[in-house]
Structure 1
Amino acid sequence: MNLSILYRGPLASCNYDCPYCPFAKRRDPPEALRADRAALRRFVDWVSTVSDLTVSVLFTPWGEGLTRSWYREAIVRLSHLPHVERVAIQTNLAVRTGFLAAADPAKVALWCTYHPGEVTRQAFLERCSGLGVRYSVGVVGLPEHLAEARALRRDLPGDVYLWVNAADGHTYDADAEAAWTAIDPHFGFSVRPHDSLGAGCRTGETVVSVDGDGTVRRCHFVREPIGNLYDGTWRAGLRPRPCPNLTCDCHIGYVHLRTLPLYDVFAGGVLERIAALR
């Protein structure tokens, strides 16, 4: 069985101060960091003992994970497990990436976000150029980011997918949507919520989310637990099921809807948001 896991521990801090992010410059107290480290190690230990699954992992921390050594160590360790197919993380890339040299580059991928105002485009591009692993790059689609996004697209290698997230609470007229679509041909999937109530979805069947305490849910946006990772009760909860929410407006959720063609759009790179080349 192939299982994709979106893991989110208690970490909720970030080194950046983006005005559109609720976790900007938030600091976790030492006890929260210790709890996050212990939870992640427990999760990685569990993955290492699995014998009947092929596992892919996407880390989706509330904040920036790669500034913490335990996330870097987890990525390296998971990448060398034979039954792990992919290990990826969402990151602002504000970290030295030399640790990736110790990982299996065929299994590691990065979902990188460029935040104008927090880092220069030149510095961000230099970090990207030395990664040595597959990666995607993206920006939040705010009007003040448009010029930088265009320049980023110009400066990135042509085979690197540049995605654009529609900004929360922002509306796009036809001209604005066209401008962002010229940068990201798949922006249309992000710009408006998807009707999902009753729709078939892979979450809860071949995709699950896992909290730091091992609580397993179908996805980050459905709070009802289906079991716990560490006592094995999650296995009985896996089954096809329709979405209970009216809409789904976050990529890590709607990418798994069976009503959308995104498993074809992102073939081979669903977790790390790397669109297939056409």
Structure 2
Amino acid sequence: MDLSILYRGPLASCDYDCPYCPFAKRRDSREQLRADRAALERFAGWATAQTDDRLSLLFTPWGEGLVRSWYRRTLAELSRLPHVRRVAIQTNLSCRTDWLEDADPGTLALWCTYHPGQTPYDRFLAKCRDLADRSVRHSVGVVGLPEHLAEARRLRADLPAHVYLWINAAEGHTYTDAEAAEWTAVDPLFPYSRHPHRSAGLPCRTGESVISVDGEGTVRRCHFVPAELGNLYDGSYRRALRPRACPLAVCECHIGYVHLESLPLYDTFAGGVLERIPASPVQLLRATPP
């Protein structure tokens, strides 16, 4: 079976205090960190044992995972397993990068977000260049707030041409056509992020070939639909995997709507769906956002 899994354990702490993030500078207690580590190790053990499946894994912690040693070690170890096709994580890239020496760059990928005001620009750019030097697959992005536009343009100019720079529409922000055009000049796929996508009743790969798993092993079709499909560790979720339509009115997050069959994003991001990397610059330019 080919299965993509979005894993989100109990970790909720972050080393940044972005004003647009509810988890900014949140601290986990030692007990919470121990619980997160145990949950991650349990999940990694399960993934390691699934040698009859072909797994693609995306870690989407509420907080910043790579500042924790157990995330760095787990990603490196999973990247070396022959039945793991991709292992990726969303990160602010504040961690050191020497741990990547132990990872397989053919399997590992990073989904990196630059947060202006939280880290010096030159430091973030140097880490991106280090990833490129190590041949680590990565995308880079910025939240599309008006005060971030100049930094986003600067980052696009300084990153290698092959590194995709994505822009996420800021939650609760409405863009005029003129503003949207400015962001689209930076990221040709920004129109997909600008408005929520109507999804009610439309076919979606989640719940069939894509699932969401929490720290307890509870399986849901995605992070945004609370209905449970079963548990990962007792295998009960497998009986529930089937084609299904989305029960929500709209889908407004990339890690959700990328899986809608009504959108062409599996072609646009072929081979890089989890880490948000387009198949090629040609695919990016040929994309026709709504």
- TM-score bracket for this pair, using the shorter chain length: over 0.9
Q: How does 1:180-219 map to 2 (within 5 A)?
A: 180-219=183-222
Q: State the Cα distance separating 1:120 from its structure 2 match.
A: 1.7
Tell me, in whole angstroms, the C-alpha distance in 2 between the residues paired with 1:201 and 1:96: 37
TM-score (norm 1): 0.99
Summarize the alignment of residues 163-178 of structure 1 with structure 2, pairs less than 5 Å apart: 163-178=166-181
Give the aligned partner of residue 27 of structure 2. 27
Q: TM-score normalised to the size of structure 2?
A: 0.95
Q: Secondary structure of the residue that 1:115 maps to in structure 2?
A: coil
CA RMSD of aligned residues (A): 0.5
Per-residue CA distance 1:42-88 (angstroms, 9 max, x = gap) = 00000111132100100000010000000001101101111000000
What corresponds to 1:227 in structure 2? 230
* Aligned positions of 1:39-188 closer than 5 A: 39-131=39-131, 132=134, 133-188=136-191
What do the CA deviations read for 1:126-172 (whole angstroms, capped 9, x no partner)?
Answer: 01111220100000000000000000000000000000000000000
Distance in 2, matches of 1:13 and 1:192, equals: 29
For 1:181 and 1:272, the matched residues in 2 are separated by: 20
Letter in 1 for 2:205: R
Following the alignment from structure 1 to structure 2, what is the Cα–Cα distance between the partners of residues 104 and 151?
Answer: 30
One-letter code aligned to 2:118:
E
| Matched residues, number | 278
Mapped to 2, the partners of 1:10 and 1:104 lie a distance apart of 26
**Cα distance between partner residues in 2 of 1:178 and 1:73:** 41
Percent identical: 68
Measure the CA separation in 1 of the matches of 2:154 and 2:222.
Answer: 34
In the other structure, the counterpart of 1:270 is 273
Rounded Cα–Cα distance in structure 2 between residues aligned with 1:177 and 1:231:
46
SS of alignment partner, residue 51 of structure 2: coil
CA-to-partner distance for each residue in 1:159-199, whole Å, 9 max, x for gaps? 00000000000000010000000000000000000000000
Counterpart Cα distance in 2 of 1:237 and 1:98: 41
Secondary structure at the residue paired with 2:273? coil
Q: What secondary structure does 2:35 align onto?
A: helix
Instruction: Give the letter for the 1:192 counterpart.
Output: H
267-276 vs 135-144, which moves further: 267-276
Residues 96-135 of structure 1, C-alpha deviation per residue, up to 9 Å, x if partnerless?
A: 0110110111000000000000112211010111122010
Alignment gaps of 5+ in structure 2: 283-290
Q: Deviation of residue 276 (structure 1)?
A: 2.0
Describe the SS at the equivalent of 1:130: helix
Q: In 2, Cα distance between the equivalents of 1:143 and 1:275?
A: 25
Question: 1:245 maps to what in 2?
Answer: 248
Partner of 2:18: 18
Q: Give the whole-Å Cα distance in 2 for the aligned partners of 1:70 and 1:219.
A: 24
Q: Secondary structure at the match of 1:35?
A: helix
Determine the C-alpha separation between the residues in 1 that align with 2:107 and 2:2. Answer: 15
